[in-house]
Amino acid sequence: MAIIRKFKALRPKKGLEEQVASYPYDVLNSEEARELVKDNPHSFLHVVKPEVDLPEGIDLYASQVYKKARENFNKFVTEGTLIQENAPKLYIYRQTMKLKEQYGIVGCVSVDDYNNDVIKKHEHTRPKKETDRMKHVDVTNANAGPVFLTYRAKKAIDGLVAQVVSNLPIYDFVAPDGIAHTVWIVEDDTVGDEIIKEFANIDYLYVADGHHRSASAAKVANKRRTANPDYCGEEEYNFFLAVLFPDYQLNIMDYNRVLKDLHGHSNKELFRALEDLFSVEKIGSSQYKPEQKGEIGMYFKKEWYKLTIKSEKMDTNDPVKSLDISYIQDNLLSPFFGVENPRTSEDIDFIGGIRGLDELEKLVNSGKFQVAFAMYPTSVEELISIADSGEVMPPKSTWFEPKLRSGLLIHSLSE
């Protein structure tokens, strides 16, 4: 059974929601964040990217960065930019992107469920990034950004959500990037309780996006439990903020690869390697976006190629090895390009599909990279299948859009 519970959200004062709501901490670099906050003192980037208020070039993991996050967060509360709910509630958070809607239930989920794999994962975390998020949660004493979870859809839950969204929302705005964000409070506690009961009959939740945030929340809980051996389990640090979307509503985009060089190989050797693994078709100057699983686009020397995986070379019995991402990593990126560990290699970069094929062309044409690979998106079913098998995907296998905004609903660990 999956545990979700209500919480007393800290949220923007009515009228400030559009200014407060920010991209997640890991979508922008420091320079981009500084530009966005320049004329917006209410942006939640002041909390999730607090280096924007410190000298340029500062070590992002310095203690003063986390202290600045706490200072900015506390200021938002004391000055009234953020207000706190009087009673614990659940919320519904709708995002609309190009007429496609997804409705998430916002509540707190259990650290014990995370530890016991009721909340399943599909990616490894990086220790440095995990420690960074742990410090941020511990010092600010809050979950500043939600974890993006999914679950196998249930009609009963869809029906309860539909009841809530028939009422007026508390927030409803369109961000500068064109994504619409709408939030409802589940005011009727009976409906909220019914939602909680329905999740008690769901076997598993799945981390879609936010592996480091969920891992860090578990580490903070473990740290505080150790310091408080008489804990009862109901303390707020035993739960973390999440938005739960039904599986059929998720939008996974391609996550593409660019390589700095051919690792000492010639152009002829590249195509020899490709022809062993794929059926290779030259497209020319027109962009090629893969249309189905098993197809990969390649941009090289200002030409596009369609690469179709040779089916006899694909291990279709293994949920991980049957991914296009795994095939190209295991058979091409590692042995030919020398990218043995894509987590640490300096020879590869990853480009979210939201940036489009133009970005791949731009990077290769600039000379910073020599070749780009455009991938077909991993499916939600593949994600769930791998998580259920206890396996993990290769790094950078999924790019979810739209991104959840930080600052709309915050979970304080002191309440």
Per-residue model confidence (pLDDT) at position 340: 93
Predicted confidence band of residue 123 (pLDDT cuts 50, 70, 90): confident
Give the separation between CA 393 and CA 383, rounded to whole angstroms: 8
Helix extents (H) in 43-154: 45-48, 63-78, 111-115, 127-140
Mean pLDDT confidence for 87-100 = 96
Contact 105, 112 (CB under 8 A): no
Q: Where does the pLDDT of residue 415 fall: very low under 50, low under 70, confident under 90, or very high at 90 and above?
A: low
Report the SS3 class of residue 196.
Answer: helix
- Report how far residue 35's alpha carbon sits from residue 349's, in angstroms, rounded to the nearest whole number: 24
Please write the tens of the pLDDT for every residue from 233-282. Answer: 999 999 999 999 999 999 999 999 999 999 999 999 999 999 999 999 99
128 — pLDDT class (breaks 50, 70, 90): confident
Q: Report all structural domains of the chain as residue ranges with CATH numbers, in order of start.
A: 4-251+401-412 (no CATH), 255-376 (3.30.1760)
Cβ-count burial of 117 within 10 angstroms (0-12 exposed, 13-18 middle, 19+ buried)?
Answer: exposed
**Mean pLDDT confidence for 211-227:** 96
23, HSE (Cβ side, Cα atoms, 13 Å)? 17
SS (H, E, C) 213-250: HHHHHHHHHHHHHHHCCCCCCCCHHHEEEEEEEEHHHC
- Report d(CA 161, CA 40) in Å as an integer: 33
* Closest by Cα among 322, 352, 399, 124 to 258: 352
Burial of 180 (0-12, 13-18, 19+ CB in 10 A): middle
Of 157, 163, 168, nearest in space to 246 by CA: 157
The 3-state secondary structure of 309-327 reads: ECHHHCCCCCCCCCCHHHH
Average predicted confidence (pLDDT) for the chain? 96
Reported as a single tens digit per residue, the pLDDT across 17-56 is: 999 999 999 888 999 999 999 999 999 999 999 999 999 9
In the chain, the percentage of residues whose pLDDT exceeds 90 is 91
Work out the end-to-end distance of the chain between its first and last CA atoms, rounded to an integer number of angstroms.
25
